Amino acid sequence: MLQRFTARAVVVGNRAGTVIPDAVLDVTDGRIGWVGPAAEAPRTDDAEVVELPGVLLPGLVNAHSHAPMVLFRGQGEGLPLDRWLHEVMWPREARLTPEDVEVAMTAASAEMLRNGVTTSVEMYFHPERIAAAVGRTGARAIIATPILPLPGLPPFDEQLRTAVELAARAAGDGTVEYGLGPHAAYTVPLPVLRDAAAAAREHGMLLHLHVAETATEGAGLLAEHSLSVPALLAAHDVLGGRVLAAHCVHMDDADLEIWRQHDVSVAHCPASNAKLASGVARLRDMLDRGIRVGMGTDGPASNDGLDLFADLRLAASLARLAGRSATALTAAEAFWLATGAAADAIGRPDLGQLEAGRRADFVHVDTRDLVFEPVGDLGDWLAHLVWSGAGRHVRDVWVGGCPVVRNGVSTTVDTEALRSDVGERAARLAGI
């Protein structure tokens, strides 16, 4: 059945910042059939018409997250990354159960949907339980099965084999996709990274890892190999195919050139990088080189939010500060980093923009709020979304044309029960 949605405007989500006023969005069988001005809409006599008072946006794409870490939100406040991991996170994670992960991911997924995030790239334990969670909430996810040298985990070759087998069993309907998530070059041996990359290329999987998050993490590798981490990954045939590198804060010109040559995508996580004092990534330089970049929240224990609006606002602010220019990152570019650019960065051209043929993942933002006034020209919509907007302004969300948030409330799960459950599990994991 054809559904026709009308709105004050549609923000397409492309780099140009296209905004269509007095717009219509048609949806059939989970895909966008037509989008454009109402005056030009194709005639139809049997459509279900939904009139909306605000603007429609593409579902936001979170390019890097460890969302089940809502269990650890706010823990280890004030610690640098290495101490935060070793003293707070990893001891708690050692006590995780599969059920903990599923409950936490369900709650986090509902929170992201409430904030307009319809797709996330997840790297966390028990990937099948993460898939079950997004199946409950109605979201989408690319789940990079983690490969890590932690006590209790199988040998690396077994971890990799299991991850590839899991991906082969995925439904292939665009809802859940599995990738490979070797943590980083400083935690996973280079031969294992090379094997994971080869497997990812062979099976068309996303290879997702952390790169150059802190200034010191590559010091040992540099001393041993006389190469930066990006150069080392290139030398060991880790690059090529669908590679998504998170953070990429401490990169020099030669490193960025390696990324450009190998078409490595970047998940930019400004809030996490700022909170942990990791540094400010060279976002403008990446974009000017043609490197694909998408916005990420990182985990809710190191952000601590899952509101991508806040991250894109911070990204724009930091880019302008770093470049000492108010034009270093436009509002249109900032919004694109959380929509069309992010979809491109994760290798999902079916998502991220409101255009015919793409999946009908879209968000209704209620603009009956003073932060969205005045609107003198179409560019003001993007300026207000980036500089004034927040997840709290999201009223309704559809994934594949199905409503998953209505009037600010999840249609699929009981968020209040989940909040209570997460609190009890977090207390147990903290030893309280």
Q: Yes or no: say if 313 and 334 are a contact pair by the CB < 8 Å rule.
A: yes
Judge if 131 and 215 occupy the same domain: yes
Judge if 71 and 220 occupy the same domain: yes
pLDDT of 127: 98
Q: What is the mean pLDDT of residues 372-392?
A: 97
Q: Is the pLDDT of residue 81 over 90?
A: no
**Is residue 76 a part of any domain in this protein?**
yes
Judge if 10 and 121 occupy the same domain: no
Q: How far apart are CA 397 and CA 412, in angstroms?
A: 12
pLDDT of 412: 98
* One-letter amino acid of 366: D
The band of 78, judged by pLDDT with boundaries at 50, 70 and 90, is: confident
Q: How far apart are CA 217 and CA 222, in angstroms?
A: 10
For the chain, helix, strand, coil in percent to 5 are: 40, 20, 40
Q: Yes or no: say if 122 and 102 are a contact pair by the CB < 8 Å rule.
A: no
Q: How far apart are CA 265 and CA 205, in angstroms?
A: 14
Judge if 104 and 129 occupy the same domain: yes
- Phi, psi angles (nearest 5°) of residue 266: -120, 135
Judge if 39 and 79 occupy the same domain: no
**Of 294, 320, 345, which closes a domain?**
345
Among candidate residues 388, 349, 331, the one with its CA nearest the CA of residue 365: 388
Judge if 189 and 178 occupy the same domain: yes
Residue 358 has which token pair?
Answer: 């793409």
Judge if 53 and 169 occupy the same domain: no
pLDDT of 378: 96
Residue 282 has which token pair?
Answer: 């060279």
3-state SS class at 166: helix
**Is residue 423 a part of any domain in this protein?**
no
Model pLDDT for residues 198-241, shown as the tens digit of each residue = 999 999 999 999 999 999 988 899 999 999 999 999 999 999 99
Domain that holds residue 165: 60-345
Q: How far apart are CA 77 and CA 216, in angstroms?
A: 20
The band of 257, judged by pLDDT with boundaries at 50, 70 and 90, is: very high
Q: Give the residue ranges of DSSP H helices in 294-429.
A: 308-323, 331-337, 340-345, 379-387, 415-429
CATH number at residue 399: 2.30.40.10
Residue 308 has which token pair?
Answer: 């991508």
Q: Work out the number of other CB atoms within 10 angstroms of the CB of residue 47.
A: 18
Q: How far apart are CA 388 and CA 140, in angstroms?
A: 27
**Is residue 131 a part of any domain in this protein?**
yes
CATH number at residue 188: 3.20.20.140
pLDDT of 335: 98
User: Which of 84-93, 95-104, 287-296 has the lowest average pLDDT?
Assistant: 84-93
Judge if 111 and 245 occupy the same domain: yes
**Is residue 324 a part of any domain in this protein?**
yes
Residues of the chain above pLDDT 70, percent: 100
pLDDT of 431: 83
pLDDT of 45: 86
Q: Work out the number of other CB atoms within 10 angstroms of the CB of residue 299.
A: 25
Judge if 243 and 141 occupy the same domain: yes
pLDDT of 79: 85
Q: How far apart are CA 270 and CA 313, in angstroms?
A: 10
Model pLDDT for residues 119-178, shown as the tens digit of each residue = 999 999 999 999 999 999 999 999 999 999 988 899 999 999 999 999 999 999 999 999
Q: Yes or no: say if 299 and 326 are a contact pair by the CB < 8 Å rule.
A: no
Q: What is the mean pLDDT of residues 169-198?
A: 96
Q: Which helix (H) or strand (E) holds 267?
A: strand 265-268
Judge if 246 and 136 occupy the same domain: yes
Model pLDDT for residues 5-29, shown as the tens digit of each residue = 999 999 999 999 999 999 999 999 9
Among candidate residues 281, 294, 284, 231, the one with its CA nearest the CA of residue 261: 231
If you average pLDDT over every residue of the chain, what do you get? Answer: 96
pLDDT of 312: 96
Name the pTM for this structure: 0.97
Q: Is the pLDDT of residue 272 over 90?
A: yes
pLDDT of 237: 98
Residue 357 has which token pair?
Answer: 């043929």
**Is residue 226 a part of any domain in this protein?**
yes
Query: Number of structural domains, the chain?
Result: 2
The band of 343, judged by pLDDT with boundaries at 50, 70 and 90, is: very high
pLDDT of 136: 98
Q: What is the mean pLDDT of residues 172-199?
A: 97
Judge if 24 and 86 occupy the same domain: no
**Is residue 430 a part of any domain in this protein?**
no
Judge if 341 and 360 occupy the same domain: no
Q: Give the residue ranges of DSSP H helices in 263-377.
A: 270-275, 283-288, 308-323, 331-337, 340-345
